Structure 1
Amino acid sequence: MELLGISIGWILIVLGALFLLIETFNPGFFIAVPGTVMIILGVLFVMGFDVFGSTLGVAVGVATALAAAAVTVWLYARITPDERPTTISRDSIVGHGGRVVREVVPENISGKVAIGGVEWSARSVAGVLPAGTEVVVVRSEGVHVIVEEVR
Protein backbone atom coordinates (compact mmCIF):
# COMPACT_ATOMS: atom_id res chain seq x y z
CA MET A 1 0.00 0.00 0.00
CA GLU A 2 1.18 3.47 -0.77
CA LEU A 3 0.19 6.87 0.43
CA LEU A 4 1.25 9.70 -1.89
CA GLY A 5 3.99 7.49 -3.32
CA ILE A 6 5.39 6.60 0.11
CA SER A 7 5.02 3.09 1.44
CA ILE A 8 2.89 2.86 4.58
CA GLY A 9 5.53 0.44 5.86
CA TRP A 10 8.22 3.13 5.78
CA ILE A 11 5.87 5.64 7.41
CA LEU A 12 5.26 3.18 10.25
CA ILE A 13 8.99 2.49 10.63
CA VAL A 14 9.84 6.21 10.80
CA LEU A 15 7.01 6.95 13.24
CA GLY A 16 8.03 3.98 15.40
CA ALA A 17 11.64 5.17 15.43
CA LEU A 18 10.49 8.67 16.44
CA PHE A 19 8.45 7.18 19.27
CA LEU A 20 11.51 5.26 20.50
CA LEU A 21 13.61 8.40 20.26
CA ILE A 22 11.05 10.35 22.29
CA GLU A 23 11.03 7.55 24.86
CA THR A 24 14.82 7.78 25.09
CA PHE A 25 14.62 11.44 26.11
CA ASN A 26 11.44 11.08 28.21
CA PRO A 27 11.74 7.72 30.02
CA GLY A 28 8.51 6.59 31.57
CA PHE A 29 6.32 8.22 28.97
CA PHE A 30 5.90 4.64 27.72
CA ILE A 31 5.59 5.11 24.00
CA ALA A 32 8.22 2.46 23.43
CA VAL A 33 5.52 -0.21 23.07
CA PRO A 34 3.58 1.47 20.24
CA GLY A 35 6.90 2.51 18.67
CA THR A 36 8.15 -1.06 18.59
CA VAL A 37 4.83 -2.33 17.26
CA MET A 38 4.88 0.30 14.49
CA ILE A 39 8.39 -0.71 13.47
CA ILE A 40 7.50 -4.42 13.35
CA LEU A 41 4.31 -3.79 11.35
CA GLY A 42 6.22 -1.42 9.07
CA VAL A 43 8.82 -4.09 8.36
CA LEU A 44 6.03 -6.55 7.52
CA PHE A 45 4.58 -4.02 5.06
CA VAL A 46 7.98 -3.31 3.46
CA MET A 47 8.55 -7.05 3.06
CA GLY A 48 5.32 -7.20 1.04
CA PHE A 49 3.07 -8.75 3.68
CA ASP A 50 -0.24 -6.86 3.59
CA VAL A 51 -1.30 -6.86 7.20
CA PHE A 52 -4.77 -5.47 6.42
CA GLY A 53 -5.41 -7.33 3.16
CA SER A 54 -6.75 -10.64 4.47
CA THR A 55 -7.91 -12.44 7.58
CA LEU A 56 -4.55 -14.19 7.79
CA GLY A 57 -2.79 -10.83 7.44
CA VAL A 58 -4.81 -9.32 10.29
CA ALA A 59 -4.16 -12.38 12.47
CA VAL A 60 -0.41 -12.26 11.78
CA GLY A 61 -0.37 -8.48 12.35
CA VAL A 62 -2.20 -8.74 15.67
CA ALA A 63 -0.04 -11.66 16.84
CA THR A 64 3.14 -9.83 15.84
CA ALA A 65 1.98 -6.63 17.54
CA LEU A 66 1.13 -8.48 20.75
CA ALA A 67 4.45 -10.31 20.74
CA ALA A 68 6.36 -7.06 20.09
CA ALA A 69 4.43 -5.33 22.88
CA ALA A 70 5.12 -8.17 25.33
CA VAL A 71 8.84 -8.24 24.52
CA THR A 72 9.05 -4.44 24.78
CA VAL A 73 7.33 -4.40 28.18
CA TRP A 74 9.63 -7.22 29.38
CA LEU A 75 12.76 -5.39 28.17
CA TYR A 76 11.53 -2.11 29.61
CA ALA A 77 11.05 -3.79 33.00
CA ARG A 78 14.56 -5.26 32.82
CA ILE A 79 16.32 -1.96 32.07
CA THR A 80 14.28 0.21 34.45
CA PRO A 81 16.05 0.88 37.76
CA ASP A 82 14.65 -1.21 40.58
CA GLU A 83 13.51 1.66 42.76
CA ARG A 84 10.47 1.45 44.94
CA PRO A 85 8.00 4.31 44.53
CA THR A 86 7.76 6.81 47.34
CA THR A 87 5.06 5.78 49.76
CA ILE A 88 5.38 8.73 52.10
CA SER A 89 2.15 10.60 52.71
CA ARG A 90 1.78 13.95 54.39
CA ASP A 91 0.10 12.27 57.38
CA SER A 92 2.87 9.71 57.86
CA ILE A 93 5.62 12.32 58.24
CA VAL A 94 4.24 14.02 61.36
CA GLY A 95 7.10 13.97 63.86
CA HIS A 96 9.78 13.54 61.17
CA GLY A 97 12.64 15.98 60.87
CA GLY A 98 13.82 17.77 57.78
CA ARG A 99 15.49 20.88 56.44
CA VAL A 100 14.07 24.09 54.99
CA VAL A 101 14.80 24.35 51.26
CA ARG A 102 12.97 27.65 50.63
CA GLU A 103 12.12 30.15 53.37
CA VAL A 104 9.07 29.06 55.38
CA VAL A 105 6.67 31.59 56.89
CA PRO A 106 3.46 31.20 58.93
CA GLU A 107 1.15 33.09 56.54
CA ASN A 108 1.43 31.05 53.32
CA ILE A 109 2.60 27.76 51.84
CA SER A 110 5.23 29.13 49.47
CA GLY A 111 7.97 27.65 51.66
CA LYS A 112 9.52 24.26 50.96
CA VAL A 113 11.00 21.65 53.27
CA ALA A 114 12.85 18.44 52.41
CA ILE A 115 11.79 15.46 54.49
CA GLY A 116 13.10 12.00 53.67
CA GLY A 117 14.38 13.21 50.30
CA VAL A 118 10.98 14.57 49.27
CA GLU A 119 10.10 18.27 49.06
CA TRP A 120 6.88 19.46 50.67
CA SER A 121 5.07 22.80 50.64
CA ALA A 122 5.18 24.12 54.16
CA ARG A 123 4.34 26.89 56.54
CA SER A 124 5.73 27.47 59.99
CA VAL A 125 4.01 27.43 63.37
CA ALA A 126 5.56 30.78 64.22
CA GLY A 127 8.21 33.02 62.73
CA VAL A 128 10.27 32.96 59.57
CA LEU A 129 12.46 29.89 59.03
CA PRO A 130 15.32 30.57 56.59
CA ALA A 131 16.73 27.98 54.19
CA GLY A 132 18.93 25.44 55.96
CA THR A 133 16.97 25.48 59.22
CA GLU A 134 16.37 22.07 60.81
CA VAL A 135 12.63 21.51 61.32
CA VAL A 136 10.16 18.90 62.55
CA VAL A 137 6.67 18.32 61.14
CA VAL A 138 3.98 19.04 63.76
CA ARG A 139 0.91 18.40 61.58
CA SER A 140 -0.39 18.40 58.03
CA GLU A 141 -3.18 20.43 56.47
CA GLY A 142 -4.49 19.89 52.97
CA VAL A 143 -1.52 19.65 50.61
CA HIS A 144 1.11 21.11 52.93
CA VAL A 145 2.82 20.47 56.24
CA ILE A 146 3.19 22.67 59.29
CA VAL A 147 6.71 22.72 60.72
CA GLU A 148 8.59 24.21 63.61
CA GLU A 149 12.28 24.77 64.18
CA VAL A 150 14.16 22.04 66.02
CA ARG A 151 15.55 23.55 69.20
Structure 2
Amino acid sequence: MVLETNLYFALIVIGALLLLFEAMNPGFFAAVPGTTMIVLGVMFLMGIDVFSSTWGILIGVASALIAASLSVLLYRRLSPEQLPTTMSRDSLVGKPGKVMKEVRSDDLGGKVVVNGVELSARSTGKNLSPGTNILVVSSEGVHVIVEEV
Protein backbone atom coordinates (compact mmCIF):
# COMPACT_ATOMS: atom_id res chain seq x y z
CA MET A 1 0.00 0.00 0.00
CA VAL A 2 2.85 2.39 0.83
CA LEU A 3 4.54 1.58 -2.49
CA GLU A 4 1.32 2.29 -4.38
CA THR A 5 0.84 5.60 -2.57
CA ASN A 6 4.41 6.58 -3.44
CA LEU A 7 3.74 5.75 -7.08
CA TYR A 8 0.64 7.94 -7.05
CA PHE A 9 2.61 10.83 -5.57
CA ALA A 10 5.31 10.19 -8.18
CA LEU A 11 2.66 10.61 -10.91
CA ILE A 12 1.68 13.97 -9.43
CA VAL A 13 5.30 15.12 -9.07
CA ILE A 14 6.25 14.04 -12.59
CA GLY A 15 3.15 15.80 -13.93
CA ALA A 16 4.09 18.98 -12.07
CA LEU A 17 7.65 18.76 -13.40
CA LEU A 18 6.29 18.40 -16.94
CA LEU A 19 4.17 21.53 -16.43
CA LEU A 20 7.21 23.38 -15.07
CA PHE A 21 9.23 22.24 -18.07
CA GLU A 22 6.45 23.47 -20.36
CA ALA A 23 6.41 26.85 -18.61
CA MET A 24 10.15 27.25 -19.14
CA ASN A 25 10.15 25.91 -22.73
CA PRO A 26 6.81 26.72 -24.33
CA GLY A 27 5.85 24.51 -27.21
CA PHE A 28 2.88 22.56 -25.93
CA PHE A 29 4.65 19.21 -25.76
CA ALA A 30 4.46 18.64 -22.02
CA ALA A 31 1.31 20.46 -20.84
CA VAL A 32 -1.25 17.78 -21.70
CA PRO A 33 0.69 14.76 -20.38
CA GLY A 34 1.63 16.74 -17.26
CA THR A 35 -1.96 17.71 -16.52
CA THR A 36 -3.18 14.19 -17.23
CA MET A 37 -0.58 12.66 -14.89
CA ILE A 38 -1.59 15.02 -12.09
CA VAL A 39 -5.29 14.20 -12.55
CA LEU A 40 -4.65 10.44 -12.62
CA GLY A 41 -2.38 10.66 -9.55
CA VAL A 42 -5.07 12.55 -7.61
CA MET A 43 -7.71 10.04 -8.72
CA PHE A 44 -5.59 7.14 -7.48
CA LEU A 45 -5.06 8.91 -4.14
CA MET A 46 -8.84 9.37 -3.84
CA GLY A 47 -9.25 5.62 -4.20
CA ILE A 48 -10.43 5.51 -7.82
CA ASP A 49 -8.50 2.70 -9.47
CA VAL A 50 -8.86 3.40 -13.16
CA PHE A 51 -7.56 -0.05 -14.10
CA SER A 52 -9.79 -2.23 -11.90
CA SER A 53 -13.09 -2.02 -13.76
CA THR A 54 -14.79 -0.80 -16.87
CA TRP A 55 -16.20 2.19 -14.98
CA GLY A 56 -12.76 3.01 -13.62
CA ILE A 57 -11.32 2.99 -17.12
CA LEU A 58 -14.15 5.19 -18.42
CA ILE A 59 -13.73 7.65 -15.54
CA GLY A 60 -9.97 7.72 -16.04
CA VAL A 61 -10.21 8.30 -19.79
CA ALA A 62 -12.93 10.93 -19.38
CA SER A 63 -10.92 12.75 -16.70
CA ALA A 64 -7.78 12.65 -18.82
CA LEU A 65 -9.67 14.01 -21.84
CA ILE A 66 -11.23 16.79 -19.79
CA ALA A 67 -7.85 17.68 -18.28
CA ALA A 68 -6.22 17.67 -21.72
CA SER A 69 -8.99 19.84 -23.18
CA LEU A 70 -8.73 22.34 -20.35
CA SER A 71 -4.95 22.42 -20.78
CA VAL A 72 -5.36 23.22 -24.48
CA LEU A 73 -7.88 26.00 -23.75
CA LEU A 74 -5.71 27.48 -21.01
CA TYR A 75 -2.61 27.30 -23.17
CA ARG A 76 -4.37 29.12 -26.01
CA ARG A 77 -5.45 31.90 -23.65
CA LEU A 78 -2.02 32.32 -22.09
CA SER A 79 0.16 32.13 -25.19
CA PRO A 80 0.21 35.18 -27.44
CA GLU A 81 -0.75 34.63 -31.05
CA GLN A 82 2.35 34.91 -33.17
CA LEU A 83 1.85 35.63 -36.81
CA PRO A 84 4.67 34.42 -39.02
CA THR A 85 6.92 36.98 -40.57
CA THR A 86 6.53 36.87 -44.31
CA MET A 87 8.63 38.64 -46.86
CA SER A 88 8.64 38.12 -50.55
CA ARG A 89 11.22 39.40 -52.93
CA ASP A 90 8.82 41.96 -54.33
CA SER A 91 7.79 43.26 -50.92
CA LEU A 92 11.36 44.45 -50.24
CA VAL A 93 11.65 46.76 -53.24
CA GLY A 94 11.56 50.37 -52.08
CA LYS A 95 12.32 49.51 -48.43
CA PRO A 96 15.09 51.37 -46.61
CA GLY A 97 17.83 49.61 -44.70
CA LYS A 98 21.38 49.84 -43.44
CA VAL A 99 24.64 48.20 -44.52
CA MET A 100 26.07 45.82 -41.92
CA LYS A 101 28.99 44.38 -43.92
CA GLU A 102 30.55 46.11 -46.96
CA VAL A 103 28.36 45.75 -50.04
CA ARG A 104 30.04 45.60 -53.44
CA SER A 105 28.67 45.34 -56.95
CA ASP A 106 30.76 42.33 -57.92
CA ASP A 107 29.93 39.83 -55.16
CA LEU A 108 27.19 38.73 -52.74
CA GLY A 109 29.31 38.89 -49.57
CA GLY A 110 27.69 42.12 -48.42
CA LYS A 111 25.05 42.20 -45.69
CA VAL A 112 22.22 44.67 -45.15
CA VAL A 113 19.39 44.87 -42.64
CA VAL A 114 15.93 45.59 -44.04
CA ASN A 115 12.86 45.50 -41.75
CA GLY A 116 15.02 43.95 -39.01
CA VAL A 117 16.12 41.06 -41.23
CA GLU A 118 19.70 40.55 -42.38
CA LEU A 119 20.00 39.85 -46.10
CA SER A 120 22.79 39.18 -48.60
CA ALA A 121 23.20 42.10 -50.94
CA ARG A 122 25.13 43.62 -53.79
CA SER A 123 25.14 47.24 -54.87
CA THR A 124 24.12 48.85 -58.12
CA GLY A 125 27.57 50.36 -58.67
CA LYS A 126 29.80 51.72 -55.94
CA ASN A 127 30.96 49.99 -52.78
CA LEU A 128 28.91 50.78 -49.66
CA SER A 129 30.55 50.74 -46.25
CA PRO A 130 28.92 49.57 -42.97
CA GLY A 131 26.47 52.11 -41.55
CA THR A 132 25.45 53.47 -44.95
CA ASN A 133 21.72 53.99 -45.41
CA ILE A 134 20.41 52.09 -48.41
CA LEU A 135 17.27 51.51 -50.45
CA VAL A 136 16.34 48.16 -52.01
CA VAL A 137 15.95 48.67 -55.76
CA SER A 138 15.37 45.03 -56.80
CA SER A 139 15.89 41.45 -55.75
CA GLU A 140 17.38 38.42 -57.43
CA GLY A 141 16.95 34.98 -55.91
CA VAL A 142 17.83 35.19 -52.24
CA HIS A 143 19.72 38.47 -52.30
CA VAL A 144 18.79 42.10 -52.84
CA ILE A 145 20.23 44.85 -55.00
CA VAL A 146 20.68 48.11 -53.11
CA GLU A 147 21.80 51.67 -53.63
CA GLU A 148 22.86 54.44 -51.27
CA VAL A 149 20.25 56.99 -50.25
Asked if Structure 1 and Structure 2 have the same fold, meaning a TM-score greater than 0.5 normalized by the shorter chain, the answer is yes
% identity of equivalent residues: 46
Unaligned 5+ segments in structure 1 are: none
Larger radius of gyration: 2
- Residues 48-87 of structure 1: CA distance to partner in whole angstroms, max 9, x if unpaired? 2222232222211221111111111111111222443323
Q: Is 2:109 the counterpart of 1:75?
A: no
- Residues 112-151 of structure 1: CA distance to partner in whole angstroms, max 9, x if unpaired? x43333x23313236654443323332142xx33241332
Distance 1:29 1:122, change over 3 A: farther
Q: Distance in 2 between matches of 1:37 and 1:110?
A: 52
Deviation at 1:29, TM superposition (A): 4.6
Equivalent positions of 1:40-119 (< 5 A) are 40-100=39-99, 102-106=100-104, 107-108=107-108, 111=111, 113-117=112-116, 119=117
Distance 1:78 1:150, change over 3 A: same
Q: Distance in 2 between matches of 1:36 and 1:109?
A: 50
Q: How many residues align?
A: 145
Q: Per the alignment, in what secondary structure is the counterpart of residue 118 of structure 2?
A: strand
Distance 1:127 1:30, change over 3 A: farther
One-letter amino acid matched to 2:45: V
Contact residue 98 and residue 116 of structure 1 kept, 8 A? yes
Query: TM-score, normalising length from structure 1?
Result: 0.73
Q: Is 2:19 the counterpart of 1:9?
A: no
Distance 1:34 1:130, change over 3 A: farther
Contact residue 122 and residue 144 of structure 2 kept, 8 A? yes
Deviation at 1:15, TM superposition (A): 1.6
Distance 1:105 1:12, change over 3 A: farther
Q: Once superposed, what is the RMSD of the aligned Cα atoms?
A: 2.9
Query: TM-score, normalising length from structure 2?
Result: 0.74
Unaligned 5+ segments in structure 2 are: none
- Residues 17-74 of structure 1: CA distance to partner in whole angstroms, max 9, x if unpaired? 1111112211235422221122111211222222223222221122111111111111
Distance 1:28 1:103, change over 3 A: same
Contact residue 50 and residue 60 of structure 2 kept, 8 A? yes
Contact residue 110 and residue 122 of structure 2 kept, 8 A? no
Q: Distance in 2 between matches of 1:14 and 1:24?
A: 15
